Amino acid sequence: MPPPSTRAPSATGSSNFDDALDNALEIAECLEILRTANYGTGVQGGYADALVQYGYTSRNGGPMDKAIRNDFNELRDNADDVRRWWEGVKDDKKPRWLSGTAIYKNWQAFKNPPQPPTEDEKASDSDFMAMGITSGNAGANTTPS
């Protein structure tokens, strides 16, 4: 299969960036196949060796980092939810989210939006501001010279 950048647009009119999610889910499935094939074999480091053998490596040539593998695993486990979310993502954002980790982090940010500060948190922020302490100089010496 040619790389995503050279594929013809699909008949539905979707962009090649829609392939980013499909590629991430394919990689996730491949990682799971390698994991299950090497689980319980009794060979120390068999999974790591398989990752390197099949090209799932980090920048230094070692096996793919566990945190990245976990991101792919979460995408695979929640593929239907992720696909529904991806359909609603604006097309101008998709070119920036081509890696599995970028897709995972932005999906998580959508799923768990930051909560507005509570009244207590707002009050404590205003207390600090009244003392002349802001987040930019919280560690600075604020005593007059």
**What was the pLDDT predicted at 33?**
93
| Per-residue pLDDT reduced to its tens digit, 93-121 | 888 888 899 999 999 999 888 888 777 76
Instruction: Compute the mean pLDDT over every residue in the chain, rounded to the nearest whole number.
Output: 79
Q: Nearest to residue 94, comparing CAs of 41, 7, 17?
A: 17
pTM above threshold 0.75: no
The whole-number pLDDT of residue 141 equals 54
Please state the rounded mean pLDDT for residues 60-76.
Answer: 93
